[in-house]
Amino acid sequence: MTILQAPDRRDHPAGRSLARKRSMTQATSKRRGATYELERGYRRMIIPAILAVAIFAIVPLAGMLALSFSDYHLIRGSKGEFGFHNFARLLSDQRLVNSIYVMSVLSIFGVAAQVVIGTAVAVGLQKIVGKWRLGRVLFLVPYAVPHVAVALIWLSLFTPTLSPINAFFDLFGFTVPTFLTTQNGAMFAIIVADTWTNFPFAMLIILAALQGISTDLDEAAAIDGASRVKTFIFITLPLLMPALLMVTLFRFIDSLKHFPMIFVITKGGPGRSTQATNFYAYVQTFQNSNVAYGAAIAVLLFLMAALISFYVARLNQRVSQ
């Protein structure tokens, strides 16, 4: 007796194709499952970072925003007013206007000096070869010194009775001008100290960018008879543009946080002429106990920094494309 057996569908060409499809679907599904698991794992891995940002950035920021709408005073407490009164006051505050002017001058001239000096040093260092390359480390030293220490060093250098620079020129009968007793002089002193400690950042970025430019271009330009200056201006500089742009904008954002230099070197003086915006927020908050108004100034500063950051991100995207 012949027992009829149902044909194995896998023996049939159509069945084989179906089985293959099924097996592929299962594999794909398994792979998808694995990918999903992997993605879930990755997502879990960023939870600590999200928590850290939430706790250390978003919560304080929300707190600052809430304070800026209140009337909270460290001594007098709060009368319960909640509204835009602090922001309305910002509009007519001459000290705030002066602080924005001071911050702009310090940032624009400081960053310009840092980028120019950083580029010049980077170009010089790139030419150095052999064991002397280790000398590059020396240029990083100012960047490693704490800002308060930098400020104290420059306070001494700008104080005529303590400064070796003044003592040196005195030997030849020259009088070095006094910097810390005029607004322009005091701002110049802060810019010099800030430039000294921050130009190595610009130098590092530019040096890295320079090393990414092929030397073939220089050689080709030399063969065509271009001078070194022309080669730098018409070949190297355009290729450095993305790096220069980025370093300028990053330094500009960072420069909005002028504090240790002002606090140590001038204490905001002479008068109030070097009180930059964040220093003014500090004065209102800690010195005048006016926490709510200090928070409103900080919110304004945050918005300015956020706008610049947004612009940096957009620019970064465009440069990358």
Partner 1 sequence: MKHLCTTALVASFAMAAPFAPTAADAEEINVVMFGMPYTNGLRKLADDFEAETGIKANIDVIGQDVFENRITLSFTGGTGDIDVVHAPVIQVQRWVAANWLKPITAEVAAMAVKDDILKGPLDAYKINGEQYAVPFMAATGLMTYRQDVLEAAGVGVPETWAEMLEIAPQVTNDDRAAIALRAVPGQGFNMFIFPMIMRAYGGKFFADYTGGDLTPAINSPETLEALKVYIELINDYAPQGAGNFNFAEVNAAAQNGQVVFTVEGTGVVTQIVDPEKSKFADVTGIALPPGGPAGRSPAIAVHGLAIPSSAENPEASARFIEWAVSPETMTKIALAEPFSNFTTGSVAQNAEVIAKYDAVHPDFLRMQGEALNLAIGHYRPLLPDWPSLGAAIGENINAAVNGLMSPEDALAAAEQEMKDILGQ
Q: Quote the strand ranges of the chain, DSSP E.
A: none
Question: Residue 186: how many CA atoms within 13 Å on its side-chain side?
Answer: 22
Q: Does residue 292 bind partner 1 (CB under 8 A)?
A: yes
Compute how many residues bind partner 1; rule: CB under 8 A.
52
Residue span binding partner 1 (CB under 8 A) among the ranges 39-47, 61-69, 216-224, 229-237 = 61-69
286 counts as binding partner 1 under rule CB under 8 A:
yes
Q: Which range binds partner 1 by CB under 8 A, 41-49, 125-133, 207-215, 280-288? A: 280-288
Distance CA 30, CA 57 (A): 39
Element (H, E) at 134: none
Backbone angles phi, psi at 77, to 5 degrees: 70, -145
Residue among 202, 206, 295, 301 that touches partner 1 (CB under 8 A): 295
Cα(186)–Cα(178) distance, integer angstroms: 9
For residues 94 and 321, which CB has a smaller minimum distance to partner 1 in the complex?
94
E strand or H helix at 140 = helix 136-144
CB 142 within 8 A of CB 197: yes
Residue 223 host element (H or E): helix 215-223
Which span sits near partner 1 by CB under 8 A: 112-120, 209-217, 222-230, 284-292? 284-292
Minimum CB separation of residue 47 from partner 1 in Å reads 19
296 binds partner 1 (CB under 8 A): no
Greatest extent of the chain over all pairs of C-alpha atoms, in Å: 129
Residues 6+ positions from 124 with CB-CB distance below 8 Å: none
Window 236-265: contact mask with partner 1 (x via CB under 8 A): ---------------------------xx-
**80 lies in the binding site for partner 1 (CB under 8 A):** yes
Please identify, using beta-carbon distances, which residue of 118 and 294 lies nearer to partner 1.
294
- Min separation Cβ 236 and partner 1, Å: 42
Closest CA to 299 of 278, 313, 317: 278
Question: Which residues of this protein are in contact with partner 1, per CB under 8 A?
Answer: 55-56, 59-64, 66-67, 70, 72, 74-80, 82, 158-162, 166, 175, 178-183, 186, 263-264, 266-273, 283, 286-289, 291-292, 295
